[in-house]
Amino acid sequence: MNRRFPLAGLLRLRRLEQDQAAAHLGSVNAQLRALDSRQDAARDQAGQIPSDVDSSSALLAVAAARASSASLLADFEALAAATRAQAQQAQQELGAARARTMGLEKLEARHTMDADAAELAAEQRVLDDLFSSAPRFSSAPRAGAPEAVSP
């Protein structure tokens, strides 16, 4: 008598959407971690450029390297800001997907409880019918019935 949850297909879809949102968030977070490590490496590399040079060509090379490193760090910072915005958006999408899924999960739990209650009620009715139609036995002997003899 266990009826199937009528919104089971929609619930599966919502769970898939939630899983996709979680995977997207994980991907964006992985990109952010990789970007942070590349940015840290670029900062370390920029810090290794010597500041005390004696020839003018070396001075120009150091200045160009510093400018290049500063530009690279600015690019990394812009990319990191965009990736953080993506991560925040992905987090919001995951929260929204989870909220949609939770509503259906609550409906499913309610349906399961109602179906279980209906099944128990039907079982109780069968037991009540069996009990009401069963012959009654009493402790007093019936008239005309032979009595048991004790040895």
Residue 13 lies in a domain: yes
Q: Which CATH number goes with the domain that contains 12?
A: 1.10.287.1700
Dihedral sign for Cα 80, 84, 89, 91, please.
Answer: positive
DSSP 8-state assignment for residue 50: -
Please tell me the predicted confidence (pLDDT) of residue 76: 83
Dist CA 28 CA 106 (whole Å): 30
Residue 30 corresponds to which amino acid? A
Please tell me the predicted confidence (pLDDT) of residue 130: 87
pLDDT > 70 fraction of the chain, expressed in percent and rounded: 79
Dihedral sign for Cα 6, 8, 13, 19, please.
Answer: positive
Residue among 104, 102, 45, 103 at smallest CA distance from 76: 45
Please give the tally of structural domains in the chain: 1
Residue 137: pLDDT band (50, 70, 90) is low
Q: Please, what is the average pLDDT of the chain?
A: 83
CB-based contacts of 91: which residues, under 8 Å, 6+ apart? 25
What are residue 136's phi and psi, to 5 degrees? -90, 135
Residue 123 lies in a domain: yes
Residue 3: pLDDT band (50, 70, 90) is confident
pLDDT tens-place string over residues 58-113: 767 767 777 777 788 888 888 889 999 999 999 999 999 999 999 999 999 999 99
Please tell me the predicted confidence (pLDDT) of residue 12: 93
Residue 22 lies in a domain: yes
Q: What's the domain range around 57? A: 8-132
> In angstroms, how far apart are the furthest CA atoms of the chain?
134
pLDDT(27) > 60: yes
Residue 124 lies in a domain: yes
Dist CA 83 CA 90 (whole Å): 10
User: How large is the average pLDDT for residues 14-35?
Assistant: 92
Task: Read off the tokens for 148.
Answer: 């048991």
Residue 70 lies in a domain: yes
36-40, 60-64, 113-117, 118-122: segment of lowest average pLDDT:
60-64
